[in-house]
Homo-oligomer: A and B are copies of this chain.
Amino acid sequence: MDIGIVGLGRMGLNMAIRLSRGGHRVLVSNRSQGPIDTAVEAGAEGTESVGDLIGKLESPRVVWLMLPAGQVTDDHVDEALEYLEDGDILVEGGNTRWTDTLARAERARGRGVHYVDAGVSGGVWGLENGYSIMFGASDHAAERITPVIQTLAPSPEAGWGHVGPTGAGHFTKMVHNGIEYGMMQAFAEGFAILDAKKDWGTNEAGDEITADLDLGQIASLWREGSVVQSWLLDLIAEALVERPGLKAVAPHVPDSGEGRWTVEAAIDLGVPATVIAASLFARFSSRDETQFASRVLSAMRGQFGGHPVKG
C-alpha cells in the first residue's frame, strides 16, 4: 500500500527502507537531502515537502511522522493537517507523552483525520529484525494501516498490536519504558552488591579469604538457563566483558521522559509504583551535583548534642 514517511532520522530512514523492501510504495520527506537519497536507493520516492508528499499519496492517505517528540512533532502535525483531508490517517511514532497525543488527536479530528499513535521499540536492529509496535487507533484506522505495521513488525503475527483507542499506543510504550527503568535498576543494584563482595570467611590459618567476583563471567553465565535472562542482561554481560570494572563508564545516567511520565501516570491513577519511582530517583541522584539532601542530613547530625531536647 501507499505510505508517506516524514522524518528520516535513524528510526524513520530504516523504517522507510524496511517498508520499501516489504513491497509498499513509500514516499519520504526530510529536512536534509542525504537520507532521502538513501531511502530512494532502497526503493522509496523522494518528495519536496510535506505538502508535496501528501499530494502524491493515493487517497485515503496514510502519513507517518517519525520525528523528535515536542515542538518539531507538533509543528509537523499542524503542517500535515493543512494538506490532509477527511478520512485520511496521520500516524505519529515518536516518544510522545500520551496526553500530548490526545491534544493533537483532537486537532486532527477537527479536520476529519484519523490520528494514530504508535509506540515503536527496536533501535538500529529494527531494520533487520523488525520493530515492536504498539499503537492506538480507531478500528477503522487500525485495519487500514495493518499492512504496514505487519511489515515493520518482527513478523506479521507477532510483536505488534492495536492496543486501544488513540493515546493507548504511547501510553503503553511509556509504561514499557517505566518497567525497563525498574528492571535496569534491579540489575544495577544486584551487580553493585556482587561488586562490593570481597570477603569469604577465613582459611585454616585463620586468615581472611578475599576474592573479587568476576561480574562479566556471572552475567554471561546467567544468560543461559537462569530466570533473570533477558535482553537487558545480554547488554550487561557484553558491557562487563568488554569493560571489566566499568571504570571508564561515567556514573551519570540520563532519563528520557518516559520514566517521569510513568510515575506521574501512576500518581494520577492512584497506583503504587514504588520501584519505578525509586529507579527514576536513582537516576536523578546519579546526576545530583549539589547533593543538598545529604548536606541537610549532615547538618542535622552536626547539630545533635548542641541543642536541648525539650524534657
Interface stretch of the complex, out of A40-48, A50-58, A68-76, A250-258: A250-258
Report the Cα distance A224→B176, complex, angstroms: 13
Interface residues of A in 132-170 (CB under 8 A from B): 132-134, 136, 153-155, 158-161, 163-168
A309 touches B129 (CB 8 A): yes
Report the Cα distance A233→B217, complex, angstroms: 24
Of the candidates B128, B183, B194, the one whose C-beta lies within 8 Å of that of A172 is B194
- Given the known interface contacts A200-B102, A201-B102, the answer about A221 and B298 at a Cβ–Cβ threshold of 8 Å is no
A197 within 8 A of B: yes
A287 within 8 A of B: yes
A270 within 8 A of B: yes
Provide the residues of chain B in CB contact with A266, threshold 8 Å: 189, 193, 281
Number of chain A interface residues as a range: 35 or more
A235 within 8 A of B: yes
- Given the known interface contacts A171-B197, A239-B302, the answer about A278 and B275 at a Cβ–Cβ threshold of 8 Å is yes
A295 touches B180 (CB 8 A): no
A132 touches B298 (CB 8 A): no
Report the Cα distance A176→B221, complex, angstroms: 11
**7 A-B pairs with the lowest CB-CB distances in the bound complex, closest first:** A182-B186, A154-B311, A159-B224, A230-B230, A132-B225, A251-B294, A129-B311
